[in-house]
Amino acid sequence: MVLRKAREVFGRGAAEAPLPRTSESEAAALCHTYEDLGLGFFWSTDAEGRVTYLSPGAHALLAEQGSALNQVFLELFMKTGSESEGERTLPFAFARKGRFEKITVRSERADGETLWWSISGEPVMVRGEFAGFRGHCEDITGERRSAEESSHMAMHDALTGLLNRRRMSQLLERTLTVSSQQNSPCAIMLIDLDRFKQVNDTLGHAAGDALLKQVAARLVRVVGDKEKVSRLGGDEFQVIMPGTDDRGVLGDIATSIITSISQPYTIDGSRCLIGASVGVAVSPFDGDDSDSLVRNADLALYAAKGGGRGRFRFFSADLLKAAADRRLLEEDLHDALQRNELQIHYQPVVRAMDNHVVGVEALVRWNHPEHGSVSPARFIPIAEESNLIKGIGEWVLRRACTEAAAWPGGLRVAVNVSPVQFADDGFPALVASALANSGLDPELLELEITESVFLQEGGATNDRFKALKGLGVRLALDDFGTGYSSLGYLKSAPFDKIKIDQSFVRGATEAGSRNRAIIAAIVALAQALEMDTTAEGVESFDQFDLMKSLNVTLVQGYIYSQPIPNDEFVQKLNDGDWTIEPMGPAFQRHDRQAMFRRVGVIHDNHYYPVVLRNLSVSGALIEGLVDVPLGTEFVVDLGEGQLAVARVRRSRKRQQGLEFEHALVPDGNGGLCTRHRASPYQLAAAGLPQSPKGGDGFQPVGPHLIGGNDDRKASMPAFAMASDWKGAVLRTEG
């Protein structure tokens, strides 16, 4: 072995003519030269495995303090409890007392540095008896680190240090395989940054890279595990969450991600503001392989961005149809103005102390010839994304000014301004034109501007504020506290009013809510700056009384009036002096979403088709069963594996009011969903039909199983006892 190493040192090949016989002293000199060159080291042990020789270079690394002689050779190397293959193989080789080559092991220096070694050895036999080992060792730390760095670079994003697309794909494949074997869920989130391109375009790619690093750090803080977060490329990120299907938890995490990413950044002294949209898909409900799961999460992400950005969305089977409907709606919206389908409704803004109407907010409505009234929550985001918002916004501004100029009593009219409108250099001139053509007193026009207009900071924004105030109009900061809030906005922009978003009003009266403290702080801030305050979305007397006790100046909401058309509004003005008495429920109720949808309810061993008339977090109103006793328990099948245990709390003829055993959670799109879903395995076991594989989801089961008369019941032996099925649901929900 020594001669072979010596030949390697001096470059002699095995195929060359044999060397002349070398004396032992010359061979020893060659070995010492080899050691001195640092190309490798030699070692030997006695029959008990104790060191009898160790090259000086290896001795300095393996026995920094004291001598390695007479120490057990194996104890010079690490045993961590999670040994590598080499660390398990070397003791086996010693026990076998046979020849071995290039076993990789580790040692640790006094300063904590880990060294890697390649160990080879052969037994020494004396008169047929084992006398120990002689061998060669090599410090391969540099090679090992280089290999680890190469492996890390192959699996990690060079910019952020997160997992890259390739590694995340492998991890997702492996996780889904394990999840399938264990019948457990796995959720993924796709995250796309909003307005990132603007940072790249204005501050340069170096600033964009710095921003991506900060985004990655924030994502890791929210998720809590760097090995679950990846950068797919550009401004796209992915999070994997094995074992999680609770959509309440997932929604909270998605909201935390959006909130964290949306906080301001400082890049080379410049302040940057971006946002994020999140799409969520959960296996096996939304796909049982990586391709379908990622595709459906991407569909959910697209829906989140299409819904206005800065929000999350769960995948559902109706997303494909919704995308097609959205395209058709966009085409129709192009012609809505020309067809005279848009109109303005006005919602009174009332002084809380005396119930006197002091102004209104102009709200655009779309009466579609086929679909009827289309919610602004649906068509305004479409208008903003398709660049139709400028035309619609101009029409609303001009029409509101014209109609307000004809009102008796000089009421103030508030008009919402899209960030796209405000960013237009010609916007102040448009406002001046609308005022001049209508003859409206500028003091009676109030422009409601959201905090997102400050995403584009600089002199142009300040110049527009100055130009608008120069016209004499009033400015209101809308949805304060819900976006990119900063006290700097209030210092630099000449606002006359702060509008408290209804998300703070909603829930402010609930025990433990912090909304009350937030509203009190906003009111105190506004008073200090001599600004008015308006609370939006007030619907119940407990909310109304709270707003008055907190000294909110103005109130807007259903407790006074819903938005009404101009003709009806003019009739109520009563020569400019209109006082409204508040009317509404005593206490806040959970929002109820009106609908007309076929679902199913399960009781005993029967499945009944019913119509879902409304839905809230805590309950639902169904229609189709007759005189159901109070306290009756149902399992409500909401479709796509969503099963909710409920109890009848109100019953009148064909309608029943249900209270859910477990509250529903937001679905990220303004709707509600169950926290958990019955898995495909449970649905199959219960005899429920499933849609084909490939990510189309699970269709509502009612129409597939039962049709015809609502009063008819169908026997479902597969459900067995209702108590058994309820037990399965409870297990599904946690």
Residue 727 placed within a domain: yes
Residue 24 placed within a domain: no
Residue 21 placed within a domain: no
What are the structure tokens assigned to 266, written together?
Answer: 């400082």
Contacts with 652 (C-beta within 8 Å, 6 or more apart), sequence order:
none
Same-domain check for residues 545 and 614: no
The pLDDT of residue 550: 94
Residue 165 placed within a domain: yes
Same-domain check for residues 545 and 651: no
The pLDDT of residue 211: 93
Same-domain check for residues 302 and 446: no
The pLDDT of residue 680: 62
SS3 98: coil
Check which CATH number belongs to the domain holding 239 and give it: 3.30.70.270
SS3 97: coil
* Beta bridge pairs of residue 337: none
Same-domain check for residues 121 and 237: no
The pLDDT of residue 223: 93
- In the chain, what is the straight-line distance between the N-terminal and C-terminal CA atoms, in Å? 65
Q: Last residue of some domain: 146, 178, 201?
A: 146
Check which CATH number belongs to the domain holding 86 and give it: 3.30.450.20
Same-domain check for residues 679 and 717: yes
Same-domain check for residues 240 and 94: no
Same-domain check for residues 120 and 177: no
What CA–CA distance (Å, rounded) separates 591 from 589? 6
Check which CATH number belongs to the domain holding 378 and give it: 3.20.20.450
The pLDDT of residue 345: 95
Same-domain check for residues 330 and 218: no
Q: Last residue of some domain: 544, 573, 602?
A: 573
Q: Last residue of some domain: 317, 336, 358?
A: 317
Domain that residue 663 falls in:
593-732
Tell me the chain's radius of gyration from C-alpha atoms.
36
Same-domain check for residues 379 and 473: yes
Same-domain check for residues 328 and 459: yes
Residue 343 placed within a domain: yes
The pLDDT of residue 380: 85
Number of domains forming the structure of the chain:
4
The pLDDT of residue 62: 84
What are the structure tokens assigned to 567, written together?
Answer: 């003709």
Q: Is-contact 610 600, C-beta < 8 A?
A: yes
Residue 218 placed within a domain: yes
Check which CATH number belongs to the domain holding 646 and give it: 2.40.10
Residue 375 placed within a domain: yes
The pLDDT of residue 723: 34
What pLDDT, in 10s, does the model give residues 247-289? 999 999 999 999 999 998 988 888 888 889 999 999 998 888 8
Residues in the chain, pLDDT under 70? 1-24, 64-65, 79-88, 150-154, 307-308, 320, 323, 455-459, 481-489, 492, 574-576, 589-591, 669-670, 679-734
Same-domain check for residues 184 and 126: no
Task: Give the angle 586-592-597 at the CA atoms, nearest 5°.
Answer: 150
Residue 19 placed within a domain: no
The pLDDT of residue 378: 78
The pLDDT of residue 24: 67
The residue among 540, 542, 575, 546 whose CA lies nearest residue 560 is 540
Same-domain check for residues 604 and 562: no
Beta strand segments in 369-407, E: 372-374
Q: Is-contact 284 505, C-beta < 8 A?
A: no
